[in-house]
Amino acid sequence: SAVISQKPSRDICQRGTSLTIQCQVDSQVTMMFWYRQQPGQSLTLIATANQGSEATYESGFVIDKFPISRPNLTFSTLTVSNMSPEDSSIYLCSVLTNRDREGLYRPDTQYFGPGTRLTVL
Amino acid sequence: QKEVEQDPGPLSVPEGAIVSLNCTYSNSAFQYFMWYRQYSRKGPELLMYTYSSGNKEDGRFTAQVDKSSKYISLFIRDSQPSDSATYLCAIQGSGSARQLTFGSGTQLTVLP
């Protein structure tokens, strides 16, 4: 499976500021996604990060608030803009790959990064 | 109706117990079924993956899918305190709709 790293692992930010979260994968993957997990909640898909084109956003999420870049097949960024306390959450990068832990081909499976814990004061 | 419904828990069992975690889904177009385990302050970890009806076993874990009933289960045998985590079922479509839809998660505590 792909090894996924995220930076920063956590941050505390002031209201009205913006934070950019980076996601790096150790191998080329088919698709990359960004999820949000609010305290005590399950995961909600924010958008699919498309390489070389605009991200595809889910209902309730917009580019002005969550701009996403994916300049190549192994890297993506998510920016949380003009933050408010309601944006306090864990933000998770996820990748779709067709390799399992042993490197064998299998139907596409999603793996997750460790997450970025964001607190907005 | 949510696309994926999961027993909310929390669930607390003694060490060595058999644990049963369950989800139902509404869209028959879903083809792939996963269970993720999430420890506190960590990202979800893929635990089991299946795409057909029936059982799939991996060590102490068994994933069961019944497509006719749109029902999936995860069984944990001989549960250990290290199994204490939140378990999330996830359903995936095919083709261009390969994003995951998650259940709400069940928090499991295995008491020593």
The confidence score (pLDDT) of residue B97 equals 60
Give CA–CA dist A116/A19, Å, rounded.
11
Chain A residues with CB-CB distance to B51 below 8 A = 107
Structural domain range at position B81: 4-107
**Quick one: what percent of chain B has pLDDT higher than 90?**
62
Chain A residues with CB-CB distance to B104 below 8 A = 41-42
The confidence score (pLDDT) of residue B35 equals 95
According to DSSP, the residues that pair with A7 across neighbouring strands are: A22
User: Does B104 touch chain A if contact means CB atoms closer than 8 Å?
Assistant: yes
Name the strand (E) or helix (H) holding B45.
strand B45-50
Residues B70-83 have a mean pLDDT of 96
How far does CA A54 lie from the centroid of its chain? 15
Task: Tell if the CB–CB gap between A109 and B49 is shorter than 8 Å.
Answer: yes
| Position B112 in a domain | no
| Position B84 in a domain | yes
Q: Is A94 helix (H, G, I), strand (E, B) or coil?
A: strand
HEC letters along B17-66: CCEEEEEEECCCCCCEEEEEEECCCCCCEEEEEECCCEEEEECCEEEEEE
Residues B35-51 have a mean pLDDT of 90
Residues 6 or more apart in contact with residue A40 via CB below 8 angstroms:
none
Task: Tell if the CB–CB gap between A107 and B51 is shorter than 8 Å.
Answer: yes
Residues 6 or more apart in contact with residue A114 via CB below 8 angstroms:
A4, A5, A6, A9, B42, B43
Supply the Cα-derived Rg of chain A in whole angstroms.
14
The confidence score (pLDDT) of residue B27 equals 83
Closest Cα of chain B to A111: distance in Å? 7
Regarding predicted confidence, which is higher, B14 or A52?
B14
CA-CA-CA-CA dihedral for B107, B38, A110, A79, to nearest 10: 110
Chain B interface test: which of A4, A61, A112, A117 (most B C-beta within 10 Å): A112
Number of domains in chain B: 1
Biggest CA pair distance of chain B:
45
Intervals of chain A under pLDDT 50 = none
**B44: CATH:** 2.60.40.10
According to DSSP, the residues that pair with A94 across neighbouring strands are: A33, A112
| Position B83 in a domain | yes
Residues 6 or more apart in contact with residue B96 via CB below 8 angstroms:
none
| Range scoring the smallest mean pLDDT among A97-101, B15-19, B102-106 | A97-101
Tell me the domains of chain A and their CATH numbers. Answer: 4-114 (2.60.40.10)
Residues B43-57 have a mean pLDDT of 87
Closest Cα of chain A to B34: distance in Å? 9
The confidence score (pLDDT) of residue A3 equals 86
Terminus-to-terminus CA distance in chain A, angstroms?
Answer: 36
